[in-house]
C-alpha cells in the first residue's frame, strides 16, 4: 500500500507533529508513505494553480492507494 500525505509546509520543528507521528506509525507497519508539502503562507491564486498541478503530477507519478490530507 502507498500513501501520499499532503501537509502544510513546516513553520517550526513541532509543526504538524501529530501528522508526522501518524506517518511514522504507518511506515512501521510496512506502508510506503510520501510527503507532499503544501504552501501555507502568502498563498495567491497563481500559487494555488501551480500547487494543484504539482499535486496532480505527484499523484500520476506515485500512484498512491490513499491520499491523506492535513490542511486547515
pLDDT average per 10 residues of sequence, the chain (72 residues): 90 78 93 91 91 96 94 66
Spatial CB neighbours of 63, under 8 Å, sequence gap ≥ 6: 2
The predicted pLDDT at position 18 comes to 86
The predicted pLDDT at position 19 comes to 85
The predicted pLDDT at position 68 comes to 92
The predicted pLDDT at position 5 comes to 92
Question: How many CB atoms within 10 Å of residue 7?
Answer: 19
pTM: 0.83
The predicted pLDDT at position 53 comes to 97
The predicted pLDDT at position 72 comes to 58
Amino acid at each position: 500500500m502507498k500513501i501520499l500525505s499532503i501537509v502544510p509546509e513546516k513553520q517550526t520543528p513541532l509543526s504538524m507533529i501529530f501528522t508526522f507521528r501518524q506517518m511514522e506509525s504507518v511506515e512501521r507497519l510496512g506502508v510506503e508513505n510520501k510527503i507532499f508539502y503544501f504552501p501555507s503562507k502568502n498563498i495567491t491564486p497563481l500559487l494555488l494553480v501551480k500547487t494543484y498541478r504539482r499535486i496532480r503530477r505527484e499523484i500520476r507519478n506515485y500512484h498512491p492507494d490513499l491520499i491523506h490530507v492535513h490542511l486547515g
